[in-house]
Structure 1
Amino acid sequence: MTKTIQYYFVLNSPWSYFSGSRLAYIAKDKNATIDLKPVVLSELFPRTGGQPLKQRSEQRQAYRIIELQRWSRQLGLPIHLEPTFFPVDESLAVRTVLAAIEGDHDALQLVIALGASLWRDNLNLADEQVIADVLVDLQLPVTLIQAAKNQQSYSQLLSDNTSEAISQGVFGVPSFIVESELFWGQDRLDFLEQALTD
């Protein structure tokens, strides 16, 4: 029986950037489907006890940088530790992802590429041209951007995803759920893979 992975993420998260390609590999290897569920961190954190990065202690912020360096080396994924455009208004980019989902395109590859634009390439995800270039590179229709602008229901969908995530115990990103079992963090993908094997 094919299992489904609910994937809760934001583009502003370097940990989501780290998780995308490996998640795609695991899903393909285990014949699982991925249900992409972008959320709104500004809604998620206040309702689950989380804090935006700048409000965390100096010690936590410093250790985050160390861990990003470690995981960048471990995964072989280059990263700008402090991107010029971070935190970025990801609303247009993530709405473009929703448009890709609605159009039955490979939205996960779009998520991976948009994350790389921010975290690897140090580009501005609020810039429409950056999003358009990613779509062209992936051979996806640039008209997805216009669809993202026109579809008023996407804001509600993002909020609904966030509420759904919270109802399932999610408090941070990336988070993955398989058959009601929650896995938080890209460093839990080994356990996710095991759950798909069982």
Structure 2
Amino acid sequence: MTKKIEYYFVLNSPWSYFSGARLGQIAKQKNADIDLKPVLLSELFPRTGGQPLKQRSQQRQAYRLAELKRWSSRLALPIHLEPTYFPVDESLAVRTVIAAIQSQHDALELVIALGAALWRDNLNLADEQVIADVLIKLQLPLTLIQTAKDEQSYAKILSDNTEEAISKGVFGVPTFVVGSDVFWGQDRLDFVEQALT
């Protein structure tokens, strides 16, 4: 029986950016499927005690930047600590991810590339051309963008994913769920790997 990892994420999270490639490697090594579940932080945080970055104390904000530097070095993943377009309106980009999921493309690869566009390349994910350039690089159809614009059900998918996440005990991103076990944060991927063994 194939094991499954439910992956709750947002593109606006640098920690999601850090986790994508490693998650893919773990899933491949453990013969596990990844169920991509983009969520809405605007719904998740208020209902689970989270705070948007700008509302956190100066100490927490400073520590976050220090940790991003450390993990960028540890993972050898370059990052703009304070990208120009953050927080970005990720709605079109994440809807394009949903379109890719439903069309059975490699949507994790798209998530990783979109995260890199924001966090590594300092690009604007609200810009349709940026999304198109990512799709072209991955040899994915540009029609995914039009589908993302037209498909009205995607708002409900995002809301449903968020409701599901909350019901499973998720309060932040990235979060990985294996069976009934919940693992929050890209620094918990070792435990995800262990749970699949």
Identify whether the pair has TM-score above 0.5, normalized to the shorter chain: yes
Give the SS at the match of 1:15. Answer: helix
CA separation in 2, counterparts of 1:143 and 1:84? 28
Q: Deviations over 1:91-112 (max 9, x none)?
A: 0000000000000000000000
CA separation in 1, counterparts of 2:63 and 2:7? 25
Q: Once the 2 structures are TM-superposed, how far is the Cα of residue 45 of structure 1 from its aligned partner?
A: 0.1
Give the SS at the match of 1:82. Answer: coil
CA separation in 1, counterparts of 2:84 and 2:60? 21
CA separation in 2, counterparts of 1:154 and 1:106? 18
* Residues 1:119 and 2:98 are matched in the alignment: no
Aligned pairs for 1:1-198 within 5 A: 1-197=1-197
Task: In structure 2, give the amino acid aligned to 1:37.
Answer: K
CA separation in 2, counterparts of 1:102 and 1:31? 21
- How many residue pairs match? The answer is 197
CA separation in 2, counterparts of 1:110 and 1:98? 10
Give the SS at the match of 1:11. Answer: coil
TM-score by length of 2: 1.00
CA separation in 1, counterparts of 2:17 and 2:149? 24
Task: In structure 1, give the amino acid aligned to 2:18.
Answer: F
CA separation in 2, counterparts of 1:38 and 1:179? 18
Give the SS at the match of 1:5. Answer: strand
Q: Once the 2 structures are TM-superposed, how far is the Cα of residue 180 of structure 1 from its aligned partner?
A: 1.2
Q: Moved runs in structure 1, 4+ residues, more than 6 A?
A: none
CA separation in 1, counterparts of 2:104 and 2:47? 32
Q: Percent identity?
A: 80
Q: Once the 2 structures are TM-superposed, how far is the Cα of residue 191 of structure 1 from its aligned partner?
A: 0.4
Q: Which stretches in structure 1 are left out of the alignment for 5+ residues?
A: none
Task: In structure 2, give the amino acid aligned to 1:149.
Answer: K
Give the SS at the match of 2:196. Answer: helix
Alignment RMSD:
0.3
Give the SS at the match of 1:33. Answer: strand
Task: In structure 2, give the amino acid aligned to 1:113.
Answer: A
Q: Once the 2 structures are TM-superposed, how far is the Cα of residue 151 of structure 1 from its aligned partner?
A: 0.2
Task: In structure 1, give the amino acid aligned to 2:101.
Answer: I
Give the SS at the match of 2:139. Answer: coil
Task: In structure 2, give the amino acid aligned to 1:12.
Answer: N
CA separation in 1, counterparts of 2:144 and 2:180? 32
CA separation in 1, counterparts of 2:31 and 2:142? 30
Q: Which stretches in structure 2 are left out of the alignment for 5+ residues?
A: none
Q: Once the 2 structures are TM-superposed, how far is the Cα of residue 2 of structure 1 from its aligned partner?
A: 1.1
Q: Once the 2 structures are TM-superposed, how far is the Cα of residue 68 of structure 1 from its aligned partner?
A: 0.1
